[in-house]
Structure 1
Amino acid sequence: MADHHDDDLTATKTEGFKVGEKKTIQEYQELDKNDESLNRWKASLGLNTGTPIADPNDPRKCIIKSLALEVAGRQDVVIDLSSAGALETLKNKPFTIKEGAKFRIKAVFQVQHEVLSGLKYLQVVKRKGLRVSKDEEMLGSYAPNTTDKTSYEKRFNEEEAPSGMIARGHYNAVSKFLDDDEHTHLQFEWAFDIAKDW
């Protein structure tokens, strides 16, 4: 029977938060030009610089370009998500992680067409069908990429692999990138093995 991850991959709601009215980049740029705090916010998102690089034929708002597994002292394992079969590779060819090792995931992504509000990363890990962890990380809000900044790079919080004979074995994970509108930009399955050594 296939695992059902829908309930596991539900993001927590921010109390009292309401998604604001969507505006185009031009509308944001024109908005309250004399409001200093708003101008600082627009500058922090990079709304006032560069030429948008969006592909008019691609309706996606967020494109996850690559994912990497970073471990200090080791070469990064990078999955180029623009290549054919990349997500199948993630699902069917598990990473090997040494027990007790500290690692983090890094994502490279592009935003296009409009401001991406409240991008989140959710991850559920299961072993033998039982959930062993659920992590949720707020990545933030991002302006569309321009010629000044062609992509964003985000390193997630560092994790520590479990250790000990009982912890060793095969794990399955499901990850999802979604925003404040509950729109899923990417969902994928992946796997890893906890081993005594690399």
Structure 2
Amino acid sequence: MSNHEDHEDLKPTITPGYKPGAAKSADEYASLDAEDESLARWKASLGIVPGIERAADGPKVTVLTLELRSPTLQNPLIVDINNPAQLAEIRTQPIVIKEGVEYSVGISFKVNHSIISGVRYIHVVRRAGVKVDKLEQMLGSYSPHAEGKAYVKNFDSEESPSGMIARSGIYSVKSRVVDDDGEVYAAWDWSFKLAKEWN
């Protein structure tokens, strides 16, 4: 597997003919059509309010957690992406997923400043260097919460593979949060393995 293959696999799918608009700050969006009261109320419900102090430095988005949920799992598996020890652990000590069950991946994240649009989560799964799966899920467009509240996005459910062959290896995953312009907001690697039971 080459770095070029990884780079291409982790690019967002682009709709032919679609051109993202120019980026605007939250204050610029807040001042657009300011005389329209219903639009102003709608923007306020999204946290787009003029005059809110937002630090414009640092990352636009901070991914907080990676989450795995399943009807067969009593509590979700939650990994703190900003904890170096946990991040290192999920690279070297694979997360155990029960074979043949419905499960879903999700993330929680904060928008720190600016309006983000066309943002999606992409991950590519490889086993023994061969790509076996790719997940691309649209997150959508978000503004910063005035109170710094996090957004939570759970992705479509899928069924984990089953059988002795599926259980015999470790799956490596590259996860990215990117926008339509290809700007990478967050990137991390992790691994999982399949077993007869959740661990």
Give the TM bin, normalised by the shorter chain. Answer: 0.7 to 0.9
The answer (yes or no) to whether the contact 2:171–2:191 under 8 Å persists in 1 is: yes
The answer (yes or no) to whether the contact 1:23–1:114 under 8 Å persists in 2 is: yes
Q: Percent identity?
A: 39
Alpha-carbon distance between aligned partners in 2 of 1:156 and 1:137, rounded to the nearest angstrom? 7
Q: Structure 2: give runs of 5+ residues left out of the alignment.
A: none
Corresponding residue number in structure 2 for 1:21 = 22
Q: Which moved more, 1:6-15 or 1:36-45?
A: 36-45
Partner amino acid for 1:23? Answer: K
**Deviation, structure 1 residue 179:** 0.9
The answer (yes or no) to whether the contact 1:50–1:146 under 8 Å persists in 2 is: no
**Deviation, structure 1 residue 74:** 2.0
Aligned length: 195
Map 1:23-172; keep pairs closer than 5 Å. 23-35=24-36, 39=40, 42-43=43-44, 45-48=46-49, 51=52, 54-55=54-55, 58-72=57-71, 73-147=73-147, 150-169=149-168, 170-172=170-172
State the secondary structure of the residue aligned to 1:121: strand
Q: Which moved more, 1:188-197 or 1:26-35?
A: 26-35
- For residues 42 and 95 of structure 1, do their structure 2 counterparts lie closer, same or farther at Cα, with a shift above 3 Å needed? same
**Deviation, structure 1 residue 35:** 4.6
Partner amino acid for 1:163? Answer: S
Name the one with the larger helix percent: 2
State the secondary structure of the residue aligned to 2:105: strand
Alpha-carbon RMSD across the aligned residues, in angstroms, is: 2.4
Report the TM-score, using the length of structure 1 for normalisation: 0.86
Alpha-carbon distance between aligned partners in 2 of 1:87 and 1:168, rounded to the nearest angstrom? 23
Q: Structure 1: give runs of 5+ residues left out of the alignment.
A: none
Matched, 1:175 2:175: yes
Partner amino acid for 2:108? Answer: V
Corresponding residue number in structure 2 for 1:7 = 8
Report the TM-score, using the length of structure 2 for normalisation: 0.86
Matched, 1:185 2:182: no
**Deviation, structure 1 residue 130:** 0.9
